[in-house]
Amino acid sequence: MKKILFTLLAVFIACSFSFAQQKEKRDTLFVRVLNKYVLVDGKKTSDYYAAGQEFRDSLGRMINEINFDDVTHMPTTYTRYTYSGMNRIGEEHFANNRMVWRISLGYDGVGALIAKRVEKVSPGDTVQYLSIVYKNNPNGKPKEEVGTTSNGKLAYKAKFTYDKRGELLQRKVSVKSMPPMDSILLMKRTPLYDSLGRVTSECVTIKKVDGDDISSRTEYKFGKEGFLSELVTYSDNGVVVLRQEHIYSIQRKRIQDIKTFDGYGNLLEWKAYRYERYGSQPYMIRSFDR
């Protein structure tokens, strides 16, 4: 009964946000439900609970993401999105049933992101937190990011470096008055590829504002159908710290289960995905296009 109530609650959240925007009918609402199995003594039981949900419209655009608490199984955070065509132009982030961040995004004529405005929302007040401008390469990927504070002062500058395949190799940040929202000052990445151009291994080093240095190496394995089948993460001294098994529905070409183990082979988490489609009657969902 609880699972049914949670699903109905989530569908209500996804379908009832109207505010000042015009509503329109959508024939189909696609929902991907993330369930977690209850583990006892490191083994999966038959009991499970909803841990998250994603809602997409008939164009494949994400309209809502909802996360549930692992203990109370009630919604904790959720995000809703608005669009102009296929470009996401707005994000509203909620926690503890109130909005905490509002993000507006701007694009150029070919659909490359060129601007972002981040607002911090508190009860009875909304203030600009950061204004971000992007300079892009000819392929549309950012080569420079400049953040400005609400009073017009330079917050930080970030520069991006890519390899010939377009994979990000480095992001270097120079902080002036405020760091970026992810607090990362330097990210270095070294990817390796197979003959099909897929990333099979990558070494990543991250330096954060608080002084933390994080280094890891991750290997990716693919099944004969081309889907990611295994992910193994190593510490900087070569010790396995995490391993994931990915199980797909080959016929439907979508993820079905993800099993996570620690370096000793102990089962830490078992995720299972369920896919739902609501289309027996039109749903009233916010109009995305402007």
pLDDT-derived band at 117 (thresholds 50, 70, 90) equals: very high
Instruction: Kindly state the tokens that stand for 84.
Output: 């102009």
Q: Write out the DSSP string of 24-74.
A: EEES-EEEEEEEEEEEETTEEEEEEEEEEEEEE-TT--EEEEEEE-TTT-S
Residues contacting residue 147 through CB under 8 Å, at least 6 positions apart? 130, 131, 132, 154, 155, 156, 157, 158, 178, 180
Spell out the domains of the chain, with CATH numbers in brackets: 2-286 (2.40.128.720)
Closest CA to 242 of 230, 257, 228: 230
pLDDT for 245 beyond 70: yes
pTM summary value: 0.83
Give percent of the chain above pLDDT 70. 87
Q: Would you say 106 and 115 are in contact if contact means Cβ atoms under 8 Å apart? A: yes
42-75 confidence digits (pLDDT tens): 999 999 999 999 999 999 999 999 999 999 999 9
Query: What is the spatial distance between Cα 182 and Cα 190, in angstroms, rounded to a whole number?
Result: 20
pLDDT for 27 beyond 80: no
pLDDT for 6 beyond 70: no
pLDDT for 3 beyond 90: no
Strand partners, 175: 156
194-242 confidence digits (pLDDT tens): 999 999 999 999 999 988 899 999 999 999 999 999 999 999 889 999 9
Instruction: Kindly state the tokens that stand for 227.
Output: 């889907």
Instruction: Kindly state the tokens that stand for 119.
Output: 């607002």
Tell me whether residue 74 is exposed, middle or buried, using C-beta atoms within 10 angstroms of its C-beta: 0 to 12, 13 to 18, 19 or more.
exposed
163-197 confidence digits (pLDDT tens): 999 999 999 999 999 999 999 999 999 999 999 99
Q: Which of 107-116, 168-177, 232-241, 279-288 has the lowest mean pLDDT?
A: 279-288
